[in-house]
Amino acid sequence: MSNIKPTIPSGTRDFSPDQAKKRNFIFDTLKKIFELHNFLPIETPAMENLNTLLGKYGDEGDKLIYRILNSGDFLKDLPDELWQTKDAKKWTEYLCDKGMRYDLTVPLARYVVMHRNEINFPFKRYQIQPVWRADRPQKGRYREFYQCDVDIIGTDSLLAEIELISLVDEVFENLQLSITTKINNRKILQGIAFWLHLKDNEFINFTTILDKLDKIGLDGVLDLFKNENWDIEKISKLKELIDFCSNNDNWTEKINYLDSIFKNNEIGIAGLNEVKFIFNNLNSIQLQNKQILDITLARGLNYYTGTIFEVVCDEVPIGSICGGGRYDNLTALFGLDNVSGVGISFGAERIYDVMEKINKFPENIINENKVLIINFGENYLSYCLPILSSMRQANIKVDLYPDDAKIKKQFNYANALNYKYVIIVGEDEIANDEVSIKNMISGEQVKISKNNIISYFKI
Partner RNA sequence: GUGGAUGUAGUUCAAUGGUUAGAGCACCAGAUUGUGGAUCUGGAAGUUGUGGGUUCAAGUCCCAUCAUCCACCCCA
Nearer to RNA by Cβ, of 99 and 268: the residue is: 99
Relative orientation angle of helices 232-246 and 213-227, to the nearest 10 degrees = 160
Residue 207: which of 147, 296, 285 has the closest Cα? 296
Cβ nearer to RNA, comparing 88 with 232: 88
Task: Read off the amino acid at residue 347.
Answer: G
How far apart CA 183 and CA 309 sit, in angstroms, is: 4
Q: Which CB atom, from 36 or from 385, has the smaller least distance to RNA?
A: 385
CB of 353 to RNA, least distance (A): 10
Q: For the purposes of burial, counting CB atoms within 10 Å of the CB of 224, is it exposed (0-12), middle (13-18) or buried (19 or more)?
A: middle
- The nearest distance, CB 265 to RNA, in angstroms, is 27
Task: Pick the closest to residue 108 from 125, 130, 121, 120 (CA basis).
Answer: 125
Residue burial 387-399, b: 16+ Cβ < 10 Å; e: rest:
bbeebeeeebebe
CA atoms within 13 A on the CB side of 202: 11
Residues interacting with RNA, by CB under 7 A? 3, 7, 9-11, 58, 60-61, 103, 133, 135-143, 145, 147, 208, 300-301, 319-320, 323, 345, 347, 349-350, 406-409, 411-412, 414-416, 422, 424, 426-429, 436, 438, 440-441, 443, 445
Q: How far is the CB of 412 from RNA (least distance, A)?
A: 5
* Smallest gap from residue 129 Cβ to RNA (A): 13
- How far is residue 215's CA from residue 224's CA, in Å, rounded to a whole number? 13
Q: How far is the CB of 349 from RNA (least distance, A)?
A: 5
Name the residue nearer to RNA (CB basis): 183 or 258.
Answer: 183
Nearer to RNA, 113 or 430 (CB): 430
Burial of 165 (0-12, 13-18, 19+ CB in 10 A): buried
* Minimum CB distance to RNA smaller for 162 or for 298: 298
First-last CA distance in the chain: 54
CB of 319 to RNA, least distance (A): 7
What is the smallest separation between the CB atom of 6 and RNA, expressed in angstroms? 9
CA distance 4 to 8: 12
C-beta closer to RNA: residue 320 or 331: 320
